């Protein structure tokens, strides 16, 4: 079942498009996680200050 060069190119383009989608989703997920991490750091710092003031 040999594929023609045209079929291989189409398949590679589909795979490339999927990889691009996954990459873009991963970047968005990373951005969300970094914002959440920053929020948690700020909350942690706030709690530390509250404890040290007691």
Using one digit for the tens of pLDDT, what is the confidence trace for 9-39?
A: 999 999 999 999 999 999 999 999 999 999 9
- The pLDDT score that the predictor gives to residue 1 is 59
Inter-residue contact 44 to 37 (CB < 8 Å)? no
Residue range of the domain that includes 39: 1-54
Mean of pLDDT values over 31-48: 98
Q: Tell me the C-alpha distance between 12 and 6, whole Å.
A: 10
- Alpha-carbon separation of residue 16 from 11, 40, 44 (angstroms): 9, 36, 41
Inter-residue contact 11 to 3 (CB < 8 Å)? yes
Domain count, the chain: 1
Q: Tell me the C-alpha distance between 48 and 53, whole Å.
A: 9
pLDDT of 54 above 90: no
């Amino acid at each position: 079942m040999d594929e023609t060069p045209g079929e291989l190119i189409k398949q590679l383009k589909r795979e490339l498009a999927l990889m691009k989608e996954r990459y873009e989703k991963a970047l968005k997920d990373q951005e969300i996680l970094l914002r959440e991490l920053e929020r948690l750091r700020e909350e942690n710092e706030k709690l530390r200050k509250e404890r040290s003031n007691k």
